[in-house]
Amino acid sequence: MKKTKKIQNIEDIDKVEINCRHVNLFNTALDSVEILLNNFLAEIKNYNENPLELSKNLIATLDFLISAIGKIQKGQRLALNLDKDIPLQDTEPQINIIEGVDFKKI
């Protein structure tokens, strides 16, 4: 029985080490995204035209950066064990049903 406890302790230490490595990687990724976001914001400030007419590439870049920040945050929270009560599975966005919609035309 002592061997089982030793193995379990080793596994616990491995889990802690892996989580520390994950947190460090997420921090590095967040630093990288912060650099990209700051450069992106500097570009936007120098944009001479109407901000509502931003090119699709700029909007896609902003969407990518926001998505990356969200994924990094989720990873950090999981590695730090902050979301114990939240299910780990990804959920699909829910579609609201509008009354009076003809489903045959969708």
pLDDT band at 32, cuts 50/70/90?
Answer: very high
Predicted confidence at residue 80, as pLDDT, reads: 82
Query: Is the per-residue pLDDT at 33 higher than 70?
Result: yes
6, part of any domain: yes
94, part of any domain: no
25, part of any domain: yes
Q: What's the total number of domains in the chain?
A: 1
18, part of any domain: yes
User: pLDDT of 38-76, one tens digit each?
Assistant: 988 888 887 776 666 677 778 888 889 999 999 999 988
User: pLDDT of 16-28, one tens digit each?
Assistant: 888 888 889 999 9
The full 3-state SS of the chain, as one line of letters, equals CHHHHHHHHHHHHHHHHHHHHHHHHHHHHHHHHHHHHHHHHHHHHCCCCCHHHCCHHHHHHHHHHHHHHHHHHHHHHHHCCCCCCCCCCCCCCCCCCCCCCCHHHC
11, part of any domain: yes
Domain ranges, residue 71: 2-84
62, part of any domain: yes
